[in-house]
């Protein structure tokens, strides 16, 4: 159905509406000191879990008044909350079996109230047509608080100790407590994993910065080594140059005094006519061999083609001969069958 916002001090929720259940829980979580809950029937596990977490984490005071007949129901969660909270949450019921404690409100820190037709059940959230006013008004909250205190005093004799609770209630209370502990552990793990994920990029950045510094230092060291090596190289090159100056390459001196360097290496030997003829003959022989190889290849190809053609012709001839034999056989069979037919027909007549 949704939510209607009236002003800063009052909101209204309509049901059935699953999303409004969380708004009820959020409103309850505004409590910092005390919750005074006065509801006809209380079976909603989500709201009960939120209240139990509030008690365990923030140690707020919680008191609940509910109907005696409804509290005896199978799904009532009021006494379960008492056991799960180790008696930190107290509850009382009315005394008259013929009448009901039919209020449906909660007072938060004597400053805020939530009241309406809304029972604290799953059916009220998902099925029933309900309404709930969320009011932040201290004067109105004190009026409701006064009513609660009067009922609390009136139903004093109905308060139970943990030892008087049934085994089923104790079992349900233990399971609810374990569920909350598991959720808390999951939350811690998720928070720690998120912290690790945030820390990992920072560590990687630190490692990267450190690596960059190491690389820069290594580059500086290499530059220093190169600079230190340069003079040595120059010193090593100087004696080589001196040696080259002391031992100049051989040269031919002309009449004018100019020097021309002598070409080193052997000159190619001139061939005689006979040797040239032999080389030319070898080249011609090599050319002839290449031509012969080409002709042989061509002849092989043509031979293969000829064989293929012959085989195809032979196959076609065989097929023709086969067809002739088949036709002859069929003709002879036809003649014989016709002759036998005539013979048999003459014998009958």
Catalytic sites, residue numbers = 102, 104, 109
Max Cα–Cα distance, the chain, nearest Å: 150
Helix (H) and strand (E) counts in the chain: 8, 10
Crossing angle (nearest 10°) for helices 167-246 and 45-58 = 70
Listed in sequence order, the residues at least 6 apart from 120 whose beta carbon sits closer than 8 Å to its beta carbon are 37, 39, 41, 42, 43, 44, 47, 104
Cα–Cα distances (Å) from 295 to 287, 288, 308, 309, in that order, read 13, 11, 20, 21
Listed in sequence order, the residues at least 6 apart from 72 whose beta carbon sits closer than 8 Å to its beta carbon are none
CA 321 to chain centre: 76
Rounded Cα distance between 14 and 32, Å, is 26
Backbone angles phi, psi at 142, to 5 degrees: -70, -35
Rounded Cα distance between 221 and 233, Å, is 18
C-alpha count within 13 angstroms, C-beta hemisphere, residue 10: 10
């Amino acid at each position: 159905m949704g939510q209607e916002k009236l002003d800063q001090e009052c909101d209204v929720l309509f049901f059935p509406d699953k999303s409004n259940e969380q708004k009820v829980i959020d409103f309850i979580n505004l409590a910092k000191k005390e919750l005074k809950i006065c509801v006809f029937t209380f079976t909603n596990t989500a709201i009960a879990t939120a209240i139990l977490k509030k008690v365990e984490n923030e140690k707020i005071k919680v008191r609940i008044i509910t109907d005696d007949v409804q509290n005896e129901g199978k799904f009532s969660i009021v006494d379960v909350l008492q056991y799960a909270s180790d008696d930190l949450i107290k509850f009382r019921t009315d005394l008259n079996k013929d009448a009901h404690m039919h209020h449906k409100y909660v007072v938060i820190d004597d400053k805020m109230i939530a009241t309406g037709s809304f029972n604290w059940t799953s059916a009220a959230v998902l099925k029933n047509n309900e309404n709930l006013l969320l009011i932040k008004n201290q004067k109105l909250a004190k009026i409701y608080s006064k009513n609660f205190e009067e009922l609390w005093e009136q139903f004093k004799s109905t308060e139970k100790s943990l030892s008087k609770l049934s085994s089923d209630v104790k079992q349900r209370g233990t399971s609810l407590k374990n569920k909350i502990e598991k959720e808390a552990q999951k939350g811690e793990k998720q928070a720690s994993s998120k912290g690790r994920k945030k820390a990992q990029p920072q560590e990687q950045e630190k490692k990267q910065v450190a690596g960059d510094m190491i690389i820069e230092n290594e580059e500086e060291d290499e530059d220093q080594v190169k600079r230190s090596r340069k003079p040595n190289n120059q010193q090593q090159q100087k004696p080589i140059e001196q040696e080259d100056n002391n031992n100049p390459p051989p040269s031919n001196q002309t009449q004018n005094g100019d020097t021309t360097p002598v070409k080193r290496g052997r000159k190619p030997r001139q061939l005689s006519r006979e040797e040239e003829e032999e080389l030319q003959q070898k080249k011609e022989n090599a050319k002839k061999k290449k031509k012969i190889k080409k002709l042989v290849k061509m002849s092989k190809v043509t031979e293969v083609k000829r064989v293929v053609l012959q085989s195809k012709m032979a196959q076609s001839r065989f097929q023709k001969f086969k067809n002739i034999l088949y036709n002859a056989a069929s003709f002879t069979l036809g003649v014989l069958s016709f002759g036998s037919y005539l013979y048999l027909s003459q014998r009958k007549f």
